[in-house]
């Protein structure tokens, strides 16, 4: 493995920067350019009074199916403030490159809405609706109105997660730690070890598994449609099938021995049995849920908690991780170098898969076996690039879509790049 470090001079005060080759541009939003698109009183107040907060989650708004656009709107959630917010941002139109090849940072805050408690997780349900998980145990669907740039709460499940102990009633809410959406289904997990299945059009939970886990559930993802996968704080992956009435997991996979807590999980977009998880020790684990109860590979990665891991949705040989140690890494497992990655452009999953098979006629079989499951270290070099220059505080969240990446930090800065594969 090769660890490269690109010495970018990204500095949150200045909005756009390029690297030495003048290629990839990260611009940091020092959270200072908060001019709402429409200065309605509501917008203005939220922008004027709370411009600065620690970012807990960043998510790209999904693109309409078949769209050739690149991502341009993202949502953020804040944490650990007296007042927390869910906000929508725009990074402006694609194509207004200035003469130096840099982007003029015309990113701006579109709108914000107050959120009760820390935003623990954030997921888009569809293009207009976004689901937020709160440290108060509440799950809220916010509706984004693009016409007048406002956010409103359209549905809420208060106390979706709660403790039933003899503790005082004020403490009985349990933080909801993770959300995953597959419109119209929403699955949430929490510190109370509970799994909830909601439907966007139902007032009550469709299914609840109490005591699904004796420890804290940290994250959840869909495996195949009725199946979900959860990770917990004692290093276990559990697969649950909503078709079964029993409140027991269908399968448990675990790290042996150390019981290192797992904090994040993502499933390979094309190969549904391949799963990546990140742990408290910063290790990246790749699992094949079809076989064995142990990870296929363990990769030494960050120096502290890995908060998020994401396969690139249309280019899954690339993986991105971020950590408490303030680093953001790009893992490239594509075996035959940069000319392959140039074939991948933004766009739908289908076109990518097509180009994938065409470009590798000779070893179609090999490319179907995920490059992540290969156990031959000599043949498959994983190239790692550190994407942020000077690490200070934790990078809490990241999201990738097409050639765009957005991440948010505890240093109250948001970083965006639109040229991941240039």
Partner 1 sequence: MEEFDGEPTVTVRGPRTWIPGVNSQKKQMCFDWGPGEMLVCETSFNKKEKSEMVAGCPFIHIIRKDIDVYSKILRKLFNESHGIFVGLQRIEEELTGKSRKAQLVRVSKNYRSVIRACMEEMHQFAVADKDSAIGRQFSSQVSILSAVELIWNLCEILFIEVAPAGPLLLYLLDWVRLHVCEVDSLSADVLGSENPSKHESFWNLVTTLVLQGRLDEARQMLSKEADSNPTSAGMCRVLGDLMRTMPILSPGNTQTLTELELRWQHWHEECERHLQDGTFASNPHLESLCKVLLGDDAALLEHKELLSNWYHFLVTRLLYSQPTVKPMDLHLYAQSSLDLFLGGESSPEPLDNILMAAFEFDIHQVIKECSIALSNWWFVAHLTDLLDHCKLLQSHNLYFGSNMREFLLLEYASGLFAHHSLWQLGVDYCDHCPELGRVSLELHIERIPLTTEQKALKVLRVCEQRQMTEQVRSICKVLAMKAVRNNRLGSALSWSIRAKDAAFATLVSDRFLRDYCERGCFSDLDLIDNLGPAMMLSDRLTFLGKYREFHRLYGEKCFVDAASLLLSLMTSQIAPRSFWMTLLTDALPLLEQKQVIFSAEQTYELLRCLEDLTSGRPLCGEPDAQQLQDDDIETTKVEILRLALARNLARSIIKEGSLEGS
Q: Which residues bind partner 1 (CB under 8 A)?
A: 11-13, 30-32, 48-54, 79-82, 118, 120, 135, 163-168, 171-172, 174-175, 177, 191-193, 211, 213-216, 233-234, 236, 238, 252, 254, 256-259, 280, 304-305, 324, 390, 392-394, 410-413
47: helix, strand or coil: helix
Structure tokens, 36: 């709402």
Instruction: Report in angstroms how near the CB of residue 392 gets to partner 1 at its nearest.
Output: 5
Instruction: Report in angstroms how near the CB of residue 305 gets to partner 1 at its nearest.
Output: 6
- The nearer residue to partner 1, 15 or 334, going by C-beta atoms, is 15
Whole-number Å distance between alpha carbons of 95 and 23: 15
DSSP at 61: P
Instruction: Report in angstroms how near the CB of residue 262 gets to partner 1 at its nearest.
Output: 12
- The nearer residue to partner 1, 24 or 238, going by C-beta atoms, is 238
Instruction: Report in angstroms how near the CB of residue 343 gets to partner 1 at its nearest.
Output: 38
Instruction: Report in angstroms how near the CB of residue 248 gets to partner 1 at its nearest.
Output: 10
- The continuous run of DSSP H or E covering 59 comes out as strand 54-60
Closest among 346, 394, 288 to 71, alpha carbons compared: 346
Whole-number Å distance between alpha carbons of 37 and 243: 46
Instruction: Report in angstroms how near the CB of residue 164 gets to partner 1 at its nearest.
Output: 6
DSSP at 349: H
Residue entry with tokens 């402006």:
92
- The nearer residue to partner 1, 306 or 382, going by C-beta atoms, is 306
Residues 6+ apart with CB under 8 A from 156: 138, 139, 140, 141
Whole-number Å distance between alpha carbons of 404 and 115: 26
Q: What is the dihedral of CA 44, 48, 52, 56, to 10 degrees?
A: -20
Residues 6+ apart with CB under 8 A from 135: 79, 117, 118, 120, 175, 176
- The nearer residue to partner 1, 17 or 144, going by C-beta atoms, is 17
- The nearer residue to partner 1, 387 or 401, going by C-beta atoms, is 387
- The nearer residue to partner 1, 1 or 14, going by C-beta atoms, is 14
Instruction: Report in angstroms how near the CB of residue 287 gets to partner 1 at its nearest.
Output: 16
- The nearer residue to partner 1, 227 or 410, going by C-beta atoms, is 410
DSSP result, 302-346:
-SS-EEEEEE-SS-TTEEEEEETTS-EEEEE--TT-HHHHTT--S
- The nearer residue to partner 1, 291 or 390, going by C-beta atoms, is 390
Contact 77, 57 (CB under 8 A): yes
Whole-number Å distance between alpha carbons of 42 and 34: 14
407: helix, strand or coil: strand
- The nearer residue to partner 1, 118 or 332, going by C-beta atoms, is 118
φ and ψ at residue 95, rounded to 5 degrees: 105, -10
- The nearer residue to partner 1, 67 or 390, going by C-beta atoms, is 390
Instruction: Report in angstroms how near the CB of residue 63 gets to partner 1 at its nearest.
Output: 30
Dihedral (CA of 199, 88, 18, 104) sign:
positive
Closest among 116, 60, 114, 48 to 87, alpha carbons compared: 114
């Amino acid at each position: 493995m090769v660890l490269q470090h690109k010495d970018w001079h990204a500095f949150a005060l200045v909005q756009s920067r390029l690297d030495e080759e003048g290629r990839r541009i990260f611009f940091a939003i020092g959270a200072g350019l908060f001019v709402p698109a429409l200065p309605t009183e509501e917008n203005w107040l939220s922008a004027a009074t709370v411009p600065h907060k620690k970012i807990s989650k960043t998510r790209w708004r999904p693109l309409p199916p078949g769209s050739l656009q690149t991502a341009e709107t993202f949502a953020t959630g804040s944490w650990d403030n007296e007042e927390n917010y869910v906000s929508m941002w725009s990074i402006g139109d694609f194509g207004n490159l200035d003469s130096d090849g840099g982007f003029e940072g015309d990113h701006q805050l579109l709108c914000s809405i107050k959120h009760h408690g820390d935003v623990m997780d954030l997921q888009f349900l569809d293009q207009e609706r976004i689901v937020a998980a709160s440290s108060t145990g509440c799950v809220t669907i916010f509706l984004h109105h693009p016409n007048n740039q406002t956010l409103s709460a359209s549905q809420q499940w208060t106390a979706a997660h709660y403790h039933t102990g003899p503790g005082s009633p004020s403490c009985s809410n349990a933080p909801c730690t993770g959300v995953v959406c597959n419109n119209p289904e929403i699955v949430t997990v929490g510190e109370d070890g509970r799994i909830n299945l909601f439907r966007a059009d139902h007032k009550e939970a469709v299914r609840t598994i109490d005591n699904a886990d004796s420890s804290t559930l940290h994250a959840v993802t869909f495996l195949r449609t009725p199946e979900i996968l959860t990770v917990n704080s004692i290093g276990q992956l559990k697969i649950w099938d909503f078709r079964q009435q029993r409140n027991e997991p269908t399968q448990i996979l675990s790290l042996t021995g150390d019981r290192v807590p797992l904090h994040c999980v993502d499933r390979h977009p094309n190969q549904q049995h391949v799963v990546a998880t990140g742990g408290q020790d910063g290790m990246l684990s790749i699992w094949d849920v079809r076989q064995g109860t142990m990870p296929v590979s363990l990769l030494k990665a960050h120096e502290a908690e890995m908060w998020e891991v994401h396969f690139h949705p249309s280019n899954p040989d690339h993986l991105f991780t971020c950590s408490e140690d303030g680093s953001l890494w790009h893992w490239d497992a594509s075996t035959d170098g940069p000319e392959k990655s140039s074939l991948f452009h933004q766009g739908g999953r289908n076109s990518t898969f097509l180009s994938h098979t065409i470009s590798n006629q000779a070893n179609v079989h090999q490319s179907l076996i995920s490059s992540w499951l290969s156990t031959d270290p000599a043949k498959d070099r994983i190239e790692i690039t550190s994407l942020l220059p000077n690490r200070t505080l934790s990078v809490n969240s990241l999201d990738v879509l097409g050639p765009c990446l957005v991440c948010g930090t505890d240093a109250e800065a948001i970083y965006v790049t639109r040229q991941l594969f240039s």
